[in-house]
Amino acid sequence: THFGFTDVPESEKAGRVQGVFTSVASKYDVMNDAMSFGVHRIWKDAMMDWLAPRPGQQLLDVAGGTGDISFKFLKRAGHGHSTVLDITESMLVEGRQRAEAGAMGDSLDWVVGDAMALPFADNTFDVYTISFGIRNVTRPQEALNEAYRVLKPGGRLMVLEFSQIPNEMMQKVYDLYSFNVIPKMGKAIANDADSYQYLVESIRKFPDQDTFLSMVRAAGFENTKYRNLTMGVACLHSGWKI
C-alpha cells in the first residue's frame, strides 16, 4: 500500500494538515454529511449523551473547526461558554459565521492555536473535547498532556475519533469503501481527491482503542473508558482529572 501522504517527515505534518483543512474549509460541513451519510451527527450526539453537559460549564473544544461540538454542548448545557481552538483559521471563520447566523456568538470564543501547546493557564476548563482532531495532531500524546494541564481538578476529557474495527471482515469492507469511494467523493464534491486521500490514510494509521486508552492514562487521566460507535468505525474515550 502506498501511504505517501502521511509518510511525510514529522516536521512537515502540521503544514500539510493545515493545507488540507484550509482547502476544504468552505465545503467541510457538506462533505462531512456526504461521506458519513450523516452518521457523524449521530456520533456527536452520542458524545453529548455520555458527556452530559451541565449549565455554566466552561468547555475547551480543541480542533473545534466549524464548531459542531461547541454548538451541541452549549445547547445541551442551556448556558455555558465554549472556547473553540483550531490551528486552521479558515475553519474557525466558517464556524464563526455559523454562530452569528444562530445568534450564539456571545457564548463562544474562537482561538487560533496548536493542541500541542495550548495558550491557556493550568486548571482553566471544566471540559475538554477533541472531535476528529487528535488524529491530525503531529504528536497526540503531547495534546493529551496539554488537555490534562488546562483542565481543572474534577474536569473531564472526551475524545471522538475514528478507530479500528475489531471484526476483521468488517474492517476489510470498510477499507474498500474508504480507500476507493472517499477520495472519489472528495474529487466530485470538493474537487480535491488528495485531501480525502489524506483523511483515509490518517484514519488507518491511528492507534486502536486500547493503545489510545493507554495514552489517555499516560497523560494522567483516571477512570478512563472507551465506547465503540458503529462497530468501532469511531470511538469515544473518556477520562477524568482527579
Residues contributing to the site for ligand SAM (CB under 6 A):
17, 21, 62-65, 68-69, 86-88, 91, 114-116, 131-133, 136-137
Strand order in the sheet with 108-112: 108-112, 81-86, 58-62, 125-131, 151-162, 234-240, 222-229
82 in a labelled binding site = no
Is 131 annotated in some ligand binding site?
yes
> Toward ligand SAM, which CB reaches closer, 169 or 215?
215
66 in a labelled binding site: yes
Min separation Cβ 242 and ligand SAM, Å:
26
Residue nearest to ligand SAM (CB): 65
| Residue 57 to residue 147: CA distance in whole angstroms | 16
Cα–Cα distance, 161 to 62 (Å, whole number): 13
Q: Which is nearer to ligand SAM, 7 or 89 (CB)?
A: 89
Least separation in angstroms between CB 2 and ligand SAM: 22
Query: Which C-beta is closer to ligand SAM: that of 45 or that of 222?
Result: 45
Q: H helices within the chain, ranges in order?
A: 10-24, 28-36, 39-51, 68-77, 89-101, 140-150, 168-176, 182-190, 193-205, 209-218
Contacts of 44 (CB under 8 A, 6+ apart): 68, 69, 72, 131, 160
Which of 172, 205 has the CB closer to ligand SAM?
205
Q: Is 115 annotated as a binding residue?
A: yes
Q: Which residues are annotated as a binding site for S-adenosyl-L-methionine?
A: 66, 86, 114-115, 131
